Amino acid sequence: MNRLSFWFFISALVYLLLGVGLGIYMAGSKDFLFAPVHGHLNLVGWVSFALYGLFYQAVPIASRQRMATVHFALASLGLWTMIPGIALFELGITEALAAIGALLTLCAILVFAAVVMRNGPKSA
């Protein structure tokens, strides 16, 4: 496994553990205030990061490009900002951090799209 795929998968596993842990807590306490946090951890964290890792493993040349490292950094910062931001929003404190995290996540997705397009099928 290449290094970038490894870090995407390790991150995905951490987000899966956090998301499942939060889900178990919510079920036990019957307090579902943070259901959006749980959902975003599982979808954006676990699923997206695992899929990114699969892509970079399947297309190893892409994982060696600087843009791929930028993608990992933006995706991580976006999630690290969005998750507490959603929690703060659910608590009625502020939506600013969630918005910043969402924009960082969007930027990460756009960088990933550029990586995919750059490494797509080559013409003959």
Averaged over successive runs of 10 residues, the pLDDT of the chain (124 residues) comes to 97 98 98 97 98 97 97 98 98 98 98 96 60
CA distances from 8 to 29, 86, 117, 124 (A): 31, 22, 20, 32
pLDDT of residue 123: 41
Question: What is the pTM assigned to this prediction?
Answer: 0.94
pLDDT of residue 121: 86
pLDDT of residue 60: 95
pLDDT of residue 124: 40
